[in-house]
Amino acid sequence: MISKDELQLWVTLWPNFSHYPNFARDSQISAIRLNSAMITPEQLPKDLQLANNYSGIVPLYFDIKGRQLRVVDVIPRDGRVHIVLNHSIEVKTPTKVIFKAGNDWGRLIEVKNGNCLIIEIVNNGNECFPKFNIIQGESIHIFEPSLKVKGDVFSTIERHKIQIARTKGIDRFFLSYVETQKELDEFQELVGQDSEIIAKIENKAGLEFVANEFKKRPNLSLMAARGDLYLELDRFHDIIPALKLIIGADPEASVGSRFMLSIMPRDPLKVNGISDDKLEINTPECSDFLEIAWLWDLGYRRMMFCDSLCLKRKYLAFAVKTFCELRDKLLEK
């Protein structure tokens, strides 16, 4: 049980990051989330072995995607973008597809063979959308009410990743886009009854599960995964009752993503390919501190930085330092 007199900081890293060793043994950090979205099963054993070389201080959690829609392949063709998904879907077209945590979009005009999306490039005045490259492993959002995700919750690739993680000694897992107790039970069978599971709540169906079906048990807790949850709600301000619902259902619930992002440029093209020594850190917004304090007051005692903040050592080091200074203030008697 998490003490009311502590506040844990979790980060998102991958073992082949050059700065991974800097944080894998940092006592200020309570857990590392390993997000394998961009990693193939063939690469995974080597990377997990590398993680084991730095194990011993910070616990590792392995993130499995479940029903979340992820890009498997991208094929530019005939002035359009063909995207192969990890799941087959049904959806009414044309409709909008959201990329980059809400910062990019395209128009879906057709679905072929169940899992191939034909995205039309849209000229919107001075810009064309999608304006950024779509890459393998990234998530997408389709808000059309007719959307149905078909087939098994766990793809063959995700099942393979679970097996590899288990053989490398991983026994702590995240599961994305949890919506039912049935998929949690299936996941428990895949990862082993001895494993800890954190169920990421990332859409309205997940919130309905929390409200009506979730039962707290040992080695199972919830996460308010705000990166996707914020986009999936009908109104952006619905994030407030959603966060209250999750911590009310599980006093051990954690909250992740969208922390401290004001220290970075909003445009990812201004970060990609730039070395750490040339990065500039923006002054944190007042809201960065207020939201951490508000989440603390709600009862959250585990907070996690998302992928984008952790990709660069300079940003992550500054965010960890700033968070821990605020944490010390919050914990003062």
The pLDDT value given to residue 268: 59
The pLDDT value given to residue 135: 87
Digit-coded pLDDT (tens) for 74-127: 998 888 999 999 999 999 999 999 998 888 999 999 999 999 999 998 887 778
Residue spans of the domains in the chain: they are 8-67+156-330, 71-149
DSSP-derived secondary structure for 79-93: TEEEEEESS-EE--S
Spans of the chain below 50 pLDDT: none
End-to-end CA distance of the chain: 21
Question: Distance from CA of residue 161 to its chain's centroid?
Answer: 17
- Residues 235 and 313: their CA atoms lie apart, in Å, by 34
The pLDDT value given to residue 269: 58
Q: Is 273 exposed, middle or buried (0-12, 13-18, 19+ CB in 10 A)?
A: exposed
The pLDDT value given to residue 102: 85
The pLDDT value given to residue 153: 93
The interaxial angle of helices 286-298 and 313-330, nearest 10 deg, is 50
Q: How many residues does the chain have?
A: 333
Nearest to 263 by CA among 329, 328, 321, 330: 321
The CATH number assigned to the domain with range 8-67+156-330 reads 3.20.20.60
The pLDDT value given to residue 333: 62
The pLDDT value given to residue 323: 98
The pLDDT value given to residue 1: 66
Digit-coded pLDDT (tens) for 117-172: 999 988 877 788 888 889 888 899 999 999 999 999 999 999 999 999 999 999 99
What ranges make up the beta strands (E) of 65-175? Answer: 71-77, 80-85, 89-90, 95-99, 104-112, 116-120, 122-124, 127-129, 141-142, 148-149, 172-175
